[in-house]
Amino acid sequence: MDGTEQPPTAAGDGGLDGGSLAGGGEAFGDRSLSQGLSVLVGLALCVTMLGLGCAVELGQLGQQLRRPVGLLLALLGQFVAMPLVAFLLALIFALDEVAAVAVLLCGCCPGGNLSNLMSVLVDGDMNLSIIMTASSTLLALFLMPLCLWVYSRPWINTAVVQLLPLGAVSLTLGSTLLPIGLGVLIRYRYPRAADLLVKISLWSLLVTLVILFILTGTMLGPDLMAHIPASVYAIAVLMPLAGYTLGYGLATIFKMPPHCRRTVSLETGCQNVQLCTAILKLTFSPELIGAMYMFPLLYALFQSAEAGLFVLIYKMYGRDSYKQDTLGEEEDTDISYKKLKEEEVPDTSYGTVTTEEHNSIQMEPTQTAL
């Protein structure tokens, strides 16, 4: 890693050693644009966390405390598997300190709301999905700074890592607790309003990502592609794919049913890119952050594309098996009950008794063959 000894001011020179993302810092130095992006990112994060809180029910939290499988899976997936994947990819592709910090930040983030939407599309367990997202978000308050401190050791002698604002990261994470708590309260008091806010938060996720892509593309122009080497694109492709695979394997080890395996897979691979973007934008100076700001957006692009591909494959090939599994689970109850009802033959020799409105009973005469 030849670029590991460069100071932060040199990162904006556009060097590509080790896959630097720091180029383009001059464009982010525009004060008005930088402040506008900060406001947009902060608002998007608040709306996302509010929607997450609105999706959580207190009864579900009580069940998870009694049998905390979702919390355990969130812990293993988001703060063991994903940080390790990010760390290994940063070493394998020999990223410099700036790019490594961006990748590690994304890998140490909790689960995102995209997984909740995708879980619906693959007939997953929505309760498990929401609990895993909420649990990982709360655990991130303590575990995300710890993971960043542990996995940044190979770059500890660089100025970027020495300036890594772990306190600001914790402060940003702590600020998300307020909208989450407000969302839980809205769900408890006004369920219909909570359902609407959940939908709004999901749409805001998509709209915000599109706006950020457009704004950053306009700000950086053709320099954007020049300062993001192929190694970074490769990590943005491989990292969510590894997360989906590890999540499915983790659920298989726990012997979970197929629909729960799909849910855990999506929960593990989908990161909270709004939180990662907010941390990068709000805690690092524009001159230092440069094009490093683009990595969570690239990750969001590829995690969405890969999750969409999985949904498409499931819709084409896995839906029938899901219906058969569901049918088999209900065979002893619903189907036997239906058969019993079909086999019942009413005695119509003297007429059929029917019930109409207002609790009136009427005898319908029928003809009996003599």
Are 268 and 250 in contact by the 8 Å Cβ rule? The answer is yes
Domain spans, the chain: 41-317
Q: What is the mean pLDDT of residues 306-312?
A: 89
The answer to whether 286 touches 28, Cβ cutoff 8 Å, is yes
Q: Which CATH number fits domain 41-317: 1.10.10.10, 3.30.390.30, 1.20.1530.20, 1.10.8.60?
A: 1.20.1530.20
Percentage of the chain exceeding pLDDT 90: 18
DSSP 78-131: IIIIHHHHHHHHHHHTT--HHHHHHHHHHHTS-B-THHHHHHHHTT--HHHHHH
| Range of weakest confidence among 64-78, 291-305, 353-367 | 353-367
Contact 302, 237 (CB under 8 A): yes
pTM of the model: 0.72
Beta carbons of 201 and 45 less than 8 angstroms apart: no
Higher pLDDT, 78 or 180: 78
Give the residue, 77 or 360, on which the prediction is more confident.
77
pLDDT at 333 over 50: no
pLDDT tens for 252-271 read: 999 999 999 999 999 999 99
**Model confidence pLDDT, tens digit, residues 82-133:** 999 999 999 999 988 888 888 999 999 998 878 887 888 888 888 888 888 8
